[in-house]
């Protein structure tokens, strides 16, 4: 008893000394350097697009979509210069005059119709020298006009930044619009939704393979939550693991194996297996439920959530199940982790003030950021392949919808538009 008292006294004394000697605590505000600063974005002026007879009604939407794509890339500061029409014969002096002191790049465009095909000709000029820099032509049918703009945007992003754009990526999600929970895919900006499953049961947890050609998911099609994979290029589907509860399958970066949660002895544990269902091995042996794994970019670390400590928290382990250690210690509910493509952040659903929110934590556990306001229920974050955007579901407009935002929690945009609930979004990789 006396020993405890002395210990306590010494501890209290020590803490006073440490507090007095500790360096001043920095502001709780943590800046995430993965989003480009507004000031570091390249100023781009977009001229009015030229058109030819037959394409007058399409030219505005093509230009609008392209401008939205470029804005979402977070690489550019766009200025609408529609008062200046694009022209094939833009002289350097004209370009310099339009660009003025501030604009560094001038984008011009022309949309024309040839038969039933539309063509977009996009060109870039150096605003400082007035010289032509780059030009591409993309074409397709009327129904692919959006994709033509997306493709043009990605090429411009790559040309000017050297990084892959995300305008041609897609988002898979679950919706109950038709009565049953089916998996859909849509363009990254929420347009062009398409059904991927239609078995009138429950389908959950869609996750893209690293090459974007297959999706793993849990389906009750055989009256049991089993793991399935579909090849979206051939529509072929096959069952990977069945019996008991099989949940949240994710792909190893090699694209040949999956990691998933399965019930065993009354608990849910993590298992690994080949995509054809062979060589299934158990990886975790906890006294709780282990769920929702997500890989580090190179695939040698896994973050997952587990209630082995009484409440759901995030844990890390090696991809072979060794070296399990706890990552989150704040709050009593931390789930659905998603590791960023650059490896420096893990997004997850946290609960603060009894609300589900989107949080970020660094893999070393040293930095934590809450990206949500506390008025709505935000959950299930997933990273875009550029590492600068997140997709998540939220009830901020009444029903649950899918939204995207930057990794700083700004520029929130609703992506799903029709009735019903939309949950569990997953962003596709960039396809080459």
Partner 1 sequence: MIRTETHFLKLWLTGSVYLVLTGCAFQSDLTDLHIEMDEIKDKMAQMTLKTDATDRISRERTQSTSNEQGNAFLKVDQMAVDLQTIQGRLEENNHSIGDLSQKIEEQTLRMHDQNSRLGNLENQMVSLEKSGQNAQAPPPQSSAEQGKMILPGQVPPSSLMPQEAYNQAYNDFVKGNYDLALIGFQNFIQQFPASALIPNAYYWMGESNYSKKEYLKAVENFDKVGRDYPKHDKTPSSILKEGYAYLEMGEKLRGKSYLKKVIELFPRSDEARLAKERLSLVK
- The answer to the question of residue 354 lying near partner 1 (CB under 8 A) is no
Size of the site for partner 1 (CB under 8 A): 46
Which of 53, 57, 287, 418 lies at the binding interface for partner 1 (CB under 8 A)? 287
Q: Which residue's entry shows tokens 């399935």? A: 228
- The answer to the question of residue 321 lying near partner 1 (CB under 8 A) is yes
**Interface stretch with partner 1, choices 175-183, 192-200, 241-249, 295-303 (CB under 8 A):** 295-303
Which of 57, 83, 89, 322 lies at the binding interface for partner 1 (CB under 8 A)? 322
Within residues 244-283, the interface with partner 1 by CB under 8 A covers 281-283
Which of 234, 310, 418, 432 lies at the binding interface for partner 1 (CB under 8 A)? 310
Q: Which residue's entry shows tokens 């009256």? A: 223
User: In the complex, what is the shortest distance from the CB of residue 217 to partner 1, in angstroms, rounded to a whole number?
Assistant: 27
- The answer to the question of residue 329 lying near partner 1 (CB under 8 A) is yes
User: In the complex, what is the shortest distance from the CB of residue 232 to partner 1, in angstroms, rounded to a whole number?
Assistant: 28
- The answer to the question of residue 33 lying near partner 1 (CB under 8 A) is no
Which of 307, 378, 386, 424 lies at the binding interface for partner 1 (CB under 8 A)? 307
**Interface stretch with partner 1, choices 180-188, 254-262, 318-326, 372-380 (CB under 8 A):** 318-326
Within residues 201-240, the interface with partner 1 by CB under 8 A covers none
Whichever of 191 and 329 has its CB closer to partner 1, that residue is 329
- The answer to the question of residue 137 lying near partner 1 (CB under 8 A) is no
CA distance 30 to 26: 9
Which of 48, 288, 381, 385 lies at the binding interface for partner 1 (CB under 8 A)? 288
- Report whether 12 contacts 4 (CB < 8 A): no
User: In the complex, what is the shortest distance from the CB of residue 30 to partner 1, in angstroms, rounded to a whole number?
Assistant: 14
Which of 320, 410, 419, 431 lies at the binding interface for partner 1 (CB under 8 A)? 320
User: In the complex, what is the shortest distance from the CB of residue 266 to partner 1, in angstroms, rounded to a whole number?
Assistant: 9
- The answer to the question of residue 351 lying near partner 1 (CB under 8 A) is no
- The answer to the question of residue 285 lying near partner 1 (CB under 8 A) is yes
Whichever of 14 and 91 has its CB closer to partner 1, that residue is 14
User: In the complex, what is the shortest distance from the CB of residue 114 to partner 1, in angstroms, rounded to a whole number?
Assistant: 47
CA distance 279 to 355: 40
- The answer to the question of residue 296 lying near partner 1 (CB under 8 A) is yes
Which residues would be at the binding site for partner 1 (CB under 8 A)? Answer: 4, 7-8, 10-15, 18, 21-22, 281-288, 296-298, 300-301, 307-311, 313, 318, 320-324, 326, 329, 342-344, 362-364, 366
């Amino acid at each position: 008893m006396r020993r405890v008292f002395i210990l306590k006294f010494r501890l209290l004394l020590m803490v006073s000394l440490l507090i007095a000697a500790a360096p001043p605590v920095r502001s709780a505000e943590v800046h995430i350097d993965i989003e480009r600063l507004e000031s570091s974005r390249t100023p781009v002026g977009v001229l009015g697009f030229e058109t030819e007879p037959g394409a007058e009604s399409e030219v505005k939407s093509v230009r609008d979509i392209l401008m939205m794509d470029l804005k979402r890339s977070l690489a550019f500061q766009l200025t609408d210069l529609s008062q200046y029409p694009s022209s094939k014969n833009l002289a350097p002096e004209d370009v310099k005059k339009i660009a003025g002191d501030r604009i560094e790049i001038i984008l011009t465009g022309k949309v024309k119709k040839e038969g039933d095909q539309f063509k977009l000709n996009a060109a870039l000029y150096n605003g400082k020298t007035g010289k032509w820099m780059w030009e591409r032509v993309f074409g397709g049918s009327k129904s692919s006009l959006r994709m033509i703009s997306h493709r043009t945007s990605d090429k411009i992003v790559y040309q000017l930044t050297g990084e892959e754009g995300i305008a041609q990526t897609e988002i898979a999600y679950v919706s109950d619009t038709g009565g049953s929970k089916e998996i859909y895919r849509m363009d990254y900006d929420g347009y062009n939704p398409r059904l991927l499953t239609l078995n009138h049961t429950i389908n959950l947890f869609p996750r893209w393979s690293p090459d974007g050609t297959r999706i793993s998911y849990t389906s009750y099609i055989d009256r049991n939550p089993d793991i399935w994979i579909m090849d979206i290029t051939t529509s072929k589907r096959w069952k990977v693991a069945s019996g008991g509860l099989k949940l949240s399958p994710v792909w190893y970066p090699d694209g040949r194996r999956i990691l998933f949660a399965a019930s065993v002895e009354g608990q849910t544990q993590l298992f690994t297996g080949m995509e054809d269902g062979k060589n299934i091995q158990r990886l975790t042996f906890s006294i709780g439920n282990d769920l929702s794994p997500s890989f580090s970019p190179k695939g040698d670390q896994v973050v997952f959530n587990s209630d082995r400590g009484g409440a759901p928290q995030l844990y890390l382990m090696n991809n072979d199940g060794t070296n399990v250690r706890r990552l989150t210690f704040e709050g009593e509910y931390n789930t659905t982790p998603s590791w960023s493509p650059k490896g420096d952040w893990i997004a997850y659903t946290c609960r603060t003030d009894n609300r589900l929110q989107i949080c970020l934590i660094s893999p070393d556990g040293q930095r934590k950021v809450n990206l949500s306001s506390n008025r709505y229920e935000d959950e299930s974050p997933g990273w875009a392949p550029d590492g600068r955007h997140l997709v998540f579901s939220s009830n901020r407009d009444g029903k649950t919808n899918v939204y995207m935002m930057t990794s700083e929690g700004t520029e929130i945009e609703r992506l799903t538009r029709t009735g019903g609930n939309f949950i569990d979004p997953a962003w596709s990789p960039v396809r080459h």
